[in-house]
Amino acid sequence: MIEAQDRAYEHIRYEGDETVALVTMNRPKKRNALSLEHMQELISCLKAIGETGETSVVVLHGAGPTFCAGHDLSEMVGRDPNFYRHLFDVCCELMQTIQTIPQPVIAQVHGVATAAGCQLAATCDLVVASEDARFACPGVKIGLFCSTPMVALTRAIGRKKAMEMLLTGEFISAEEARAEGLVNKVVPAGELEAETRALAEKIAEASPLVVGVGKQAFYRQLEMPTDQAYAYTKEVMSFNATFADAQEGICAFLEKRNPEWKGR
């Protein structure tokens, strides 16, 4: 199996250790717009991270002055329906990959996150944004309603604010995004990298195996009726309790010591 750091990428960079994988969207001249090849590279990299378990947490950010400006519109002129369908199929696969790999994915957002870039941030498990960051779904302004970004946006914030963003295409600030539930933390620009790393390291203190099980269960139970969600999570938690890491964690707590995770 080829690990993420061993693959050759044109549009992204990968740096990682056992704790944090830093995946950088590296198209600064295009404001990290999501071309078809760019999205395919992100999918490949994230799936490799997920399959090999080579790191505990993923941080996704953008090179240059902005996080991500959405789809690469230069690819979207005069194409046939099959191209557009394929493009959005790949986009949806990228978003689903982020939420299905066991590692939590943190978006480290600076500059702007617009359209599919806003979708990308909303899809990530957590978002840390700099004070100057802004978010928008402006597709309506160019005649292409942000229908796929809408899926992630409406699962992250309230429907009234989501509809306002989709209908007006206007930006909201990082602070407003935090108040609406799209962003977890807003920090000074100079502290963005350090604060994101600190959050990633805090998450990485837990058993990666248990975190992966919990992340999967979180997304599965979201759309279930309450009684079904309890039935499902009861089984997940019962299974989790049999893990060596769960028993180690319980014993460590009772014995007032730090746990030593075994990954099983």
**How many Cβ atoms from other residues are within 10 Å of residue 174's Cβ?**
24
Beta-sheet strands, E only, within 102-194 = 105-109, 112-114, 126-130, 134-136, 172-173, 185-187
User: Which region, left, alpha or beta, applies to residue 256 given φ > 0 means left and ψ of -120 to 50 means alpha?
Assistant: left
- Helix pair angle (116-123, 81-100), 10° resolution: 20
Q: Looking at the predicted structure, is the pLDDT value of residue 6 above 60?
A: no
What percentage of the chain reaches a pLDDT higher than 90?
A: 94
**How many Cβ atoms from other residues are within 10 Å of residue 155's Cβ?**
15
Query: What pLDDT is attached to residue 1?
Result: 43
Task: Decide: residue 18, CB within 10 A, 0-12 exposed, 13-18 middle, 19+ buried.
Answer: exposed
Query: What pLDDT is attached to residue 54?
Result: 82
Q: What pairing do the DSSP bridges indicate for beta strands 185-187 and 20-25? A: unpaired
Q: What is the pLDDT of residues 193-250, one digit of tens each?
A: 999 999 999 999 999 999 999 999 999 999 899 999 999 999 999 999 999 999 999 9
pTM over 0.85: yes
Q: What is the pLDDT of residues 171-182, one digit of tens each?
A: 999 999 999 999
Query: What pLDDT is attached to residue 256?
Result: 95
Closest by CA to 58, choosing from 107, 3, 9, 130, is 107
How far is 136 from 170, CA to CA, in rounded Å? 6
Domains of the chain: 4-204 (3.90.226.10), 208-254 (1.10.12.10)
Q: Looking at the predicted structure, is the pLDDT value of residue 187 above 70?
A: yes
Query: What pLDDT is attached to residue 20?
Result: 96
